[in-house]
Amino acid sequence: MIVDDDPSARRLARDSLKLSGEDWDIWEADDGRSALDLIRAVRPDVILLDLTMPEIGGIPVCSEIKSDPVTCRAEIVIVSARTERDFISASIAAGASEYVTKPFQPADLVRRVREVLNKSAATDAPGDALTDPSLTARSQ
């Protein structure tokens, strides 16, 4: 799931993931509120989240995802133009797994997403048959 208010940034992330050769299901949201609704509905494995968005910023969205038992298993990768240390530490504190700064290399973004997916697969490999496979985006 890609959450970013800038359409060209969403497009870039989507195409980067698509062209990586992986068969991921991808959803998009352009603000924090609709992202939260969509995340509850589709339960993605990984969320690429921008920090500076109108209305609800990325960090509150991140905290909310992590505090909701329905969505807390999703891994969050922050993709932001903010490079300040404060933003990075606040994101990690809010539960993000990775922090990618814009501009990024598409291959780098894909690599981070893969790493995060592998990590989450390793930690909860057994017993996640409970989740509905048709609603989850996962790596093959």
Partner 1 sequence: MRPRSNVRAMLSPKRVPREKIAAALRALILITVFAMAWLQPEGRNAAFDMVVMIGAAYVLVTTFIPWSRCDARRTTLVMLAVDVILITALIYTQSGVRSEYYLLYYLPILHASVRLNLRDAAGTCVLAAASYLLVGILERPESAVTTTVISRVLTFTISAGLLAGFFLLLSRERHAFDRLTRHYQDATKAKSEFLSRVSHEFRTPLTAIVGFSQLLYEHEAELDPSRQHEYLTVIREQSQQLARMIEDMLDITRMDDGRMQLHQSAQKLPDLLDSAMMLLDNPSDRERVTVSIQPGTPMIWVDRSEMEQVLSRIIYNALALSEEGDKVTVSAGPPTGGSEEVKISVQAKGLKVGEEDLAVVFGPSAAVITEQPSSGRALGLAVARALVELHGGRIWVEDSRGEGAAISLTVPRYRTKEGQPDIIVGVAAPEGAEAYVEGESDDSGRRSVRTKAGTGQP
> In this chain, which of 1, 2, 3, 12 binds partner 1, going by CB under 8 A?
12
Structure-derived torsion over alpha carbons of residues 70, 72, 78, 79, reported in degrees to the nearest 10:
-30
Q: Residues 72-111: x/- map of binding to partner 1 (CB under 8 A)?
A: ---------xxxx----------------xxxxxxx----
Cβ distance to partner 1 smaller for residue 6 or 30: 6
Helix 32-42 / helix 58-67 crossing angle, nearest 10 deg = 30
Give 34 or 105: the residue with its C-beta nearer to partner 1. 105
Q: List, edge to edge, every strand of the sheet that includes 75-80.
A: 28-29, 2-3, 46-49, 75-80, 98-101
Binding test (CB under 8 A) with partner 1, winner from 15, 25, 37, 128: 15
Cis? peptide before 106, omega within 30° of 0: no
SS3 of 79, please? strand
Q: Which of residues 52-71 bind partner 1 (CB under 8 A)?
A: 54
Angstrom distances, CA of residue 104 to CA of 2, 12, 59, 65: 15, 10, 20, 24
Which residue in 8, 123, 134, 140 binds partner 1 (CB under 8 A)? 8
CB of 15 to partner 1, least distance (A): 6
133 binds partner 1 (CB under 8 A): no
The residues binding partner 1 (CB under 8 A) are: 6, 8-9, 11-12, 15-16, 19, 54, 81-84, 101-107
